[in-house]
Every structure is written in structure tokens, then in C-alpha cells.
Amino acid sequence: MMWGCTLFTPPDSVVEPGFIPASRIAKPLAQENRPQQPPDIVARSAIVIDAVTGESLYEKNPDLRLPVASTQKLLTAMVAIEEGNLEAEIPISLEDALQPPTKLGLPPGSRQRRLDLLSSMLVSSANDAASALASNGNGSYREFVSRMNEKARKLGAVHSHFTNPHGLDEPGQYSTARDSAIIAYHAYRVPLIRHFAAQRTIPFRFGDGSSMTLENTNWLVWTRPAYFNGLKSGFTLWGGKCLVASAKHNGSEIIIVLLASRPDEVFNDARRLFKWHQKKLRSGYGDAPVRVFTE
């Protein structure tokens, strides 16, 4: 079955499936192109790109290797969607069920539809759902993770290494804000990802017929006016609070990536960058020398 925008709602963006991506997404900003008076943000690493052209608009330590927590579920979702067979029901193993929170509490031995697991992973960041998708992919769990790394490299995110599908802390797992922006640029072009990532709540039905309502962990989709339209948040002890957020307003669409922030500040960081970008749109992006954020 083909999944597209028309299955759910009309497209909310000028970005459409089949869009030919820019050859260099999230390209490092030249010194003369660095914007004026960027806002102070808490996140240790960040980048803002144009969601249509891929052009970099703002950077703060964008190439630091850091854990990216559950924001890497965007990559997991792309691999799962490419594998297809989303209507199939798959078994939940004990290992899937034992994943730490955040999770659905899927009983081992039960069966769930792949599409429902995908939606719960994107909306409520369910780790057991991510594990089940990887365990029941076209091969083993490890083969699924290998395909994640292969997919990242093909997209141009060559400074990342993933060891699991959910983003929980593991030695040797890392990415960067720039790579996360590259992945998000492509994930934004997958209608099914953009649909689920934009939902404030979704119903979830367990295999035994019981149900629950899942809430989006990306608080920005709850705000009004509805400038922010989705993607993914995450948190781990090693990675801190991370966020990949998309926003559209006044004919502009941007993707904001924030890594190693704090739960009480990451969404404020995103709002600061969004307001700064809107102000720059009104006044024009200047080329005067500005502060350069490095460590």
C-alpha cells in the first residue's frame, strides 16, 4: 500500500514527496554569511536550516559528536517505512517489552500492527515500539541498525554512528546537529512521518482490544499559533534534552536542531530561534561580522 499525504490531510507544506534534495544540505556557513545578533540559547549544539533548500541559517557547534536521544527515531521511521508491509502484525518479544520507559507496555507474545508501532514511536517516543520494528524488520535487529547507518550515509549524514533504533544511551553511538538536520531534511519529505509527528494525540489499540490515548512528547505541537508542525524530541542522561523541530510561517519553512539542552529550556531555545528567524525574514539576513559560537 502507498502511504501519502492524501490519506490523511492535504499537504501542509510546499515540500512534497519526490522533491529533489539539495546536493549540499546543511552546508557550513561561511564566515561572511553568518547572521547578525543570534539569540543566546542553552543547547550546547544547534543548527537551523531552510526546510526547502537545505541552506544553513544558524549554527552553534554544529559538528560536535553527541548523543541525539530519541530524535534518531526519525531515521528508524524512514528505514521501517522503506521496508514496507506496514499493515502486517508482528510479534512483541520479551526483549522488546523490557525496553525502559518511555514505552507502551507491550506484553511479550502479543502482536501489533507495524503502522501502529510506527505512529506510537513518532508521537509518544515508545522505545518498545522502536525495538519491535527493528526486531521484525527485513532481517535481524542488528541488520536493521546496519541499514540505519547505511541510510544515514546515503543521505549525507556521514559523521554519525547508531547502535540501536530508539536512541537510548549506548557506548559508541553519536551524531551531530548537522547530521541530524540532514536526516530531518529527508524525514520531512516523508508524508507519513510528517503526519504522525504533527499529531498532538493519537489513539493506540493493543492486541487484546484495549486502547489508550498517546500524547506527543514534542510540546511545540501543542502551542498556538501553530507555527511548529512536528518532528521529534528526546531525552537521555548522556544526551540531555534534544529536539528536532519543524516550523512554517510567512512562506518560510525551517528545521531547528538542538542537542545537549535542558528539559526546561529546549523548547524555549526553539522558540527563540524561530522568532529570531522571523525577525530576520522581515529585515533581511545581513552579512555583517557577528559572534561565532565555538568551543
Q: Which domain holds residue 198?
A: 5-283
In a domain, 291, yes or no: no
**What is the pLDDT, as a whole number, of residue 23?**
66
In a domain, 235, yes or no: yes
Per-residue model confidence as pLDDT tens digits over 102-126: 999 999 999 999 999 999 999 999 9
**What is the pLDDT, as a whole number, of residue 285?**
60
**What is the pLDDT, as a whole number, of residue 225?**
86
Contact of 233 with 266, CB cutoff 8 Å: yes
In a domain, 252, yes or no: yes
Is residue 118 helix, strand or coil? helix
Instruction: Please confirm, yes or no, whether 125 is among the known catalytic residues.
Output: yes
In a domain, 254, yes or no: yes
**What is the pLDDT, as a whole number, of residue 1?**
35
Per-residue model confidence as pLDDT tens digits over 230-274: 999 999 999 999 999 999 998 899 999 999 999 999 999 999 999
The enclosing domain of 236 has a CATH number of 3.40.710.10
**What is the pLDDT, as a whole number, of residue 290?**
30
Write down the catalytic residue from 119, 124, 125, 180.
Answer: 125
Write down the catalytic residue from 60, 73, 103, 280.
Answer: 73
Total domains, the chain: 1
**What is the pLDDT, as a whole number, of residue 139?**
94
Question: What pTM value is reported for the model?
Answer: 0.90
Q: Which of 131, 35, 146 is nearest to 90 (CA)?
A: 131
In a domain, 61, yes or no: yes
Write down the catalytic residue from 45, 56, 70, 261.
Answer: 70
Share of the chain above pLDDT 70, in %: 88
In this predicted structure, the answer to whether residue 84 has a pLDDT above a threshold of 90 is yes
**What is the pLDDT, as a whole number, of residue 257?**
98
Q: pLDDT class for 294, splitting at 50, 70, 90?
A: very low
Higher pLDDT, 30 or 82: 82
Instruction: Please confirm, yes or no, whether 232 is among the known catalytic residues.
Output: no
In this predicted structure, the answer to whether residue 20 has a pLDDT above a threshold of 80 is no
In this predicted structure, the answer to whether residue 286 has a pLDDT above a threshold of 60 is no
Beta bridge partners of 272: none
In a domain, 289, yes or no: no
In this predicted structure, the answer to whether residue 14 has a pLDDT above a threshold of 70 is no
**What is the pLDDT, as a whole number, of residue 251?**
86
**What is the pLDDT, as a whole number, of residue 31?**
79
In this predicted structure, the answer to whether residue 223 has a pLDDT above a threshold of 80 is yes
**What is the pLDDT, as a whole number, of residue 140?**
96
Per-residue model confidence as pLDDT tens digits over 143-167: 999 999 999 999 999 999 999 999 9
Q: Which of 131, 126, 13, 128 is nearest to 80 (CA)?
A: 131
- Residues in contact with 105: Cβ distance below 8 Å, sequence separation at least 6, in sequence order: 97, 128
**What is the pLDDT, as a whole number, of residue 17?**
53
Per-residue model confidence as pLDDT tens digits over 182-204: 999 999 999 999 999 999 999 99
Report the phi/psi class of residue 61: left, alpha or beta, with left for phi > 0 and alpha for psi in -120 to 50.
left
Calpha distance 152→82 (Å, rounded)? 13
**What is the pLDDT, as a whole number, of residue 15?**
64
SS (H, E, C) 36-79: CCCCCCCCCEEEEEECCCCCEEEEECCCCCECCHHHHHHHHHHH
Calpha distance 88→110 (Å, rounded)? 13
In a domain, 292, yes or no: no
Calpha distance 241→189 (Å, rounded)? 24
Per-residue model confidence as pLDDT tens digits over 24-69: 899 999 877 777 778 999 999 999 999 999 999 999 999 999 999 9
In a domain, 240, yes or no: yes
